[in-house]
Amino acid sequence: MFMETQNHESKIDVRIIVGGLDIAQLVSKAVNNIQLENDYNIIVSSIIPTVELSIVKKVANGADILLIGGYGHDETYNILYNELKTDFNHIGLFDYNNIIIEDESIDFKLAEKEILNSIIKSTLSYSLNLINLSQLFLIP
């Protein structure tokens, strides 16, 4: 579940699946810029630059939260969601539509904001899921 650091704080393990190396580089820079570990106790342990299912399954195994990059809830998102969802993770959308500006280029600041918002939304949903699971185990 949570990654354990040397000082035994729990960190949320996020992995981001994107469609290629170009977007993976942008995501990597954005993740480094928004200081997730220091500010939010979140580690992006992998940025996966492919939507090839067999590869994604191997790399995504064990993540607390998976973000799938795509243009809304498209076919690729739905396939990956159905293949990767478990009771112990949460899957969110990193929506490319929210980072593209009028001239069809990608806005770096919008990418930072979308990644942060996607992670926060997913973390909140993931936390609610953990609460529901813990209540399930407490029921006599």
- Domains plus CATH for the chain? 3-138 (3.40.50.2300)
Note whether 65 and 130 are within 8 A (CB): no
What is the average pLDDT score of the chain?
Answer: 84
* Number of Cβ atoms within 10 Å of the Cβ of 133: 12
Burial of 106 from C-beta contacts in 10 A (0-12 / 13-18 / 19+): middle
pTM above 0.95, yes or no: no
Mean pLDDT of 19-40: 89
Q: How confident is the model at residue 5 (pLDDT cuts 50, 70, 90)?
A: very low
Q: How confident is the model at residue 10 (pLDDT cuts 50, 70, 90)?
A: confident
* pLDDT for residue 132: 64
* pLDDT for residue 8: 41
Residue 6: pLDDT above 60? no
Mean pLDDT of 87-91: 79
- Strands annotated E in the chain: 3-4, 10-17, 42-48, 65-70, 90-95
What is the three-class DSSP state of 60?
helix
Q: How confident is the model at residue 126 (pLDDT cuts 50, 70, 90)?
A: low
